[in-house]
Structure 1
């Protein structure tokens, strides 16, 4: 079983200590670093193989939400906070779970199980993207072969993604991050937190919008510079 590497990010010393104690009781988990703010967390992500961030929301200078939004390809995130008003925004950012303080070991175990399920998603494809021109996805209780060339774009929907093809859409339980790793980088590019596009399928680009057939897809501000460099624009 692969060890799940995590970091803990919280500006409150007592909260960090409690989370350390709880996470250390999870079998197969390893705490790589404990951070007191978003800057320390960013430095950790640059040098460590992080699978999961336990991220406090209400922190000085840079909030957990702003920090997560600043990451182009974030690891899995579990929000930890004393405020439930951020729950909707958390789920819009595709976080794994939202733990309200004071956190119980029972809720942490539930969150850990969700992490395990997310990480298992990567095994749903039979062949790696780098070696084939297709992938198999689980859809309607069967494995369906989808050619990469047939994919127009991929739309993130919380814990699901919708794969839009010329023939029909497929809704599967993958994350956008997992899809990025599965698709050939020479053909696909993430242009928004909720969209990955097939570069060959683009029919036009105007302003901050990509046109693929009759569909219009917005280009996220954090992705535009890299996208324009990719297409040579």
Structure 2
């Protein structure tokens, strides 16, 4: 049986300890990391493949709901919360289960069974769970998670092991690869036009020759990307 990798995200130390103790009793489950906030959870998702997140909702800085909405292809999620008023959000985000604190081992076992069913169904379909299409993303910048709306992005500039996201308000230099960011951004709104550039279609003001203008900025169109780009703007 495949090991189910999970992370636990909760800002309350006692809640983290309790959930860690319960999950440790589940056969075939492995806790990769126990996180106290969304920033730590974001880092955990970047470092290892995760099947399930036990996610608290009411956390400082970034709520569990906003964090989940920012993930284009999230793992399976089990909400863990002391508040039942967020149940509809859980339904709309297609979470596996909604556990109310104090959580019993019996309820955790029920949630674990649902996870197994989802993972088995996903394997049969050759796909995984997906939340609703995100309209924003969180990026780590200056030791904080910053929310960037896709509608505010102008273009992305690749810089070796970093990328600079240019927005309407300011640029953000983050540790990402162009390939990883290309997979996150919605394909209907962004297109890669050069090995070092991804542009927002709505931000383009002029196209001439092998050059794109976004405001006063000129961006080259790479020869390997030109055909796809021209097909997209002409359609």
TM-score normalised according to structure 2 size:
0.58
Superposed, which structure 2 residues align to 1:155-170 within 5 Å?
A: none
Mapped to 2, the partners of 1:110 and 1:8 lie a distance apart of: 17
CA pair 10-106 structure 1, distance change in 2 beyond 3 A: same
Determine which of 190, 203, 208 is the counterpart of 1:229: 190
Instruction: Establish whether residue 109 from structure 1 lines up as the match of residue 121 from structure 2.
Output: no
CA pair 75-225 structure 1, distance change in 2 beyond 3 A: closer
In the other structure, the counterpart of 2:31 is 31
| Counterpart contact for 1:57–1:64, Cα < 8 Å | yes
CA pair 18-191 structure 1, distance change in 2 beyond 3 A: closer
| Counterpart contact for 1:8–1:33, Cα < 8 Å | yes
CA pair 2-11 structure 1, distance change in 2 beyond 3 A: same
TM-score normalised according to structure 1 size:
0.58
SS for the counterpart of 2:189 is helix
In the other structure, the counterpart of 2:66 is 66
- Deviant stretches of 4+, over 4 Å: none
Mapped to 2, the partners of 1:17 and 1:82 lie a distance apart of: 16
Alpha-carbon RMSD: 2.5
Unaligned runs of 5+ in 2: 135-150, 152-183, 192-227
Superposed, which structure 2 residues align to 1:142-181 within 5 Å?
A: 176-177=129-130
Query: Could you tell me how far 1:45 is from its partner in structure 2?
Result: 0.2
Unaligned runs of 5+ in 1: 129-173, 178-189, 194-207, 209-222
Higher-Rg structure is 2
In the other structure, the counterpart of 2:85 is 85
| Counterpart contact for 1:6–1:33, Cα < 8 Å | yes
Query: Could you tell me how far 1:122 is from its partner in structure 2?
Result: 2.6
SS for the counterpart of 1:192 is coil
CA pair 116-191 structure 1, distance change in 2 beyond 3 A: closer
Deviations, residues 34-85 of structure 1 (Å, cap 9, x unaligned) = 0000000000000111000000001001000000001111000000000000
Tell me the number of residue pairs that the alignment of Structure 1 and Structure 2 aligns.
147
SS for the counterpart of 1:227 is coil
Deviations, residues 190-217 of structure 1 (Å, cap 9, x unaligned) = 9936xxxxxxxxxxxxxx9xxxxxxxxx
